[in-house]
A and B are shown apart, each in its own frame.
Chain A
């Protein structure tokens, strides 16, 4: 396989030809915030808008998960423009995320916390109004506990449920009402979910968690 050489944040790195920039950076230990990216997925959703980078010669920041690497590319993961974009996207995510880190099973292993740490963002909403959606926690499945109030709509669970599970999870509705749910909004326990727990492993936040911590290791 051909390799290309590019520069990310002043570091020269090697990457496979045609690989997306995000994975090239992550494999080389350069962190770019991301939530919706799925290794191996054919079409990146580019929905979370967190992996913006600046590339020399490009007029505006681009999402790293959709940009293939090119020989001699010069990439910067930080710049005032990028930071602003990422910070705003992050704040928007937090504005309807049920922030309850102290009682959340994913405390300290949460991707939102990691992004906040890496980029020094505060884990609270300052500029925006907090919009609570008041959604019920789904406790019906014996293995999985689903809290839609913490979901960031990254779609990783939907993808993995198709790939490895039974395909019961999907998106429904639109705009502010959008949520990950099952056919006819039935509780997970009655949806035909076989409790494989793959969704729990890929969920970057505390939306899908194992009910028994021993049952599914994260």
Chain B
């Protein structure tokens, strides 16, 4: 994931502002990271380095905490955020198939964003719509009883066209 120079500059600026109000105690690490995420929507590596310098700890310690907790995302959110539910009911109803389908269609892995920054993909725990399993939440809208065809349909509604060849190939994999 490559950030543009502009994004890096904004991230550094905002992180600097946030750090001013925190003392150099290690205990402030999580509140600082939360603030950064609130401001930027994600916690970039450049911000983590700044935080590490401020607290006087190795950068890898900040990375360790940021990757441990689900609440921190390390990449900028896409224009549309796709969240695939992996709760118990959705898991039983083939949530992983739907997740794989999104991965293949978007050409990205979980916790990644498409190169054009249109879509980002996440797996979430139960979203509370178990009767509609398997569920995908796009931005704030819940889509239930998702099937691989429905994934294509949803993408189509965002103006993404699935090339014929790719569709065939995808279908073949799903049948296996």
Q: Are B58 and A172 neighbours in the complex by a CB distance under 8 Å? A: no
Q: Is A169 close to B, CB under 8 A?
A: yes
Residues of A within 8 A of B30 (CB): none
Residues of A within 8 A of B67 (CB): 172-174
Q: Are A171 and B64 neighbours in the complex by a CB distance under 8 Å? A: yes
Residues of B within 8 A of A182 (CB): 60
Q: Is A57 close to B, CB under 8 A?
A: no
Q: Is A187 close to B, CB under 8 A?
A: no
Nearest B residue to A171, CB-CB: B64
Nearest B residue to A192, CB-CB: B59
Q: Which of A172, A173, A181 has the most CB of B within 10 A?
A: A172
Q: How many residues of B contact A (CB 8 A)?
A: 13
Indicate whether A174 sits within 8 Å of B68 (C-beta atoms), given known contacts A183-B45, A183-B48. yes
Q: Is B118 close to A, CB under 8 A?
A: no
Q: Are B58 and A168 neighbours in the complex by a CB distance under 8 Å? A: yes
Fill in one digit per residue for A82-94: 1 if any B CB lies within 8 Å of its CB, else 0: 0000000000000
Nearest B residue to A177, CB-CB: B67
Nearest A residue to B61, CB-CB: A170
How far apart are A42's CB and chain B's nearest CB, in angstroms? 15
Indicate whether A170 sits within 8 Å of B64 (C-beta atoms), given known contacts A162-B58, A183-B59. yes
How far apart are A157's CB and chain B's nearest CB, in angstroms? 12
Residues of B within 8 A of A181 (CB): 60
User: Which positions in B face A, CB cutoff 8 Å?
Assistant: 45, 48-49, 58-64, 67-69
* 19 pairs of residues in contact across A and B, judged by CB atoms under 8 Å: A167-B58, A167-B60, A168-B58, A168-B60, A169-B60, A170-B58, A170-B64, A171-B64, A172-B64, A172-B67, A173-B67, A174-B68, A181-B60, A183-B49, A183-B58, A183-B60, A183-B62, A183-B63, A184-B63
